[in-house]
Amino acid sequence: MDKYRVVPGSPVDLKTYETTYEGDLSKKDGKDQLETLTKSLRDLQELLYAEHRQKVLIVLQGIDTSGKDGTIRNVFGKVNPQGTKVVSFKIPTARELDHDYLWRVHPHTPGNGDIVIFNRSHYEDVLVVRVHDLASKSVWEKRYDHIKAFERLLTDEGAIILKFYLHISKKEQARRFLARLDRPHKRWKFSPGDLEEREYWGAYMQAFEDMLNRTSTDNAPWYAVPSDRKWYRNLVVASVIVEKLQSLGMQFPKIVPEIESYRARLAEMIEEGVE
């Protein structure tokens, strides 16, 4: 899956990036692999939580319908919610706007033993803010360096950061909007404003390209994930995360001293019928 990693400093032209998977892996085999990976992720998350030494931040970005919610549901559905948190960044509140744009983000970053998933993120401030002229270029242009410094701070303090841009085609987005209208239980997710936002497709693609070009770093890499096929999107994201967690060399805490004496005492309690 390393082929989807955006190499720092490499030029990104999204028109040349795949949105769909055309390889030999079947959907069934892909889903079988995903099932295995999600079980591994469940075990690795338990190990991360028990060791309580490392922390993981997952960033999901993509245009509407690219599959951020679906990725979270299908990749992280088996992990223990006690050590996993999903944070969604909506329109800033009045109080948040009174502070710098990263002020609302920092309190949600992971602590030791945690996995935190950002469903949209601090990158909205170089995406929607840019596309809709909510700030001048002289303001948002500086934010690429701010964000890299912010992420460097987090990784210097021990965080693992993995960032996924979910790349879909304009045609696939239209199909997914239509699917929402065709399914009664999905219609609540559709808004007429979604079609208005679609008119900014070109501007968003340019903003995503600059985001990938300017903020994929060795310590916090971006992965541009083909996402027209949902099963393959999930497989790529799960594969990258599991491989990274496996590389951390995590271990369960050492057993308590004098464990045999505790085992003997507990066995005696059971024999005595102690409640």
Which pLDDT score, from 0 to 100, does residue 265 have?
A: 80
Q: CATH code at 42?
A: 3.40.50.300
Which tokens belong to 83? 């050590």
Burial of 183 (0-12, 13-18, 19+ CB in 10 A): exposed
Can you say whether residue 151 is alpha, beta or left, with left for phi > 0 and alpha for psi between -120 and 50 degrees?
alpha
Pairwise CA distance, residues 168 & 64, whole Å:
10
Domain span holding position 156: 2-272
* Cα-to-chain-centroid distance, residue 17: 20
pLDDT score, position 122 = 97
* Domains identified in the chain, total number: 1
Residue of 55, 15, 67 whose CA lies nearest to 212: 15
pLDDT by position in tens, the chain (length 275): 889 999 998 899 999 999 999 899 999 999 999 999 999 999 999 999 999 999 999 999 999 999 999 999 999 999 999 999 999 999 999 999 999 999 999 999 999 999 999 999 999 999 999 999 999 999 999 999 999 999 999 999 999 999 999 999 999 999 999 999 888 888 888 888 889 999 999 999 999 999 999 999 999 999 999 999 999 999 999 999 999 999 999 999 887 677 777 778 888 888 787 55
Per-residue model confidence (pLDDT) at position 184: 83
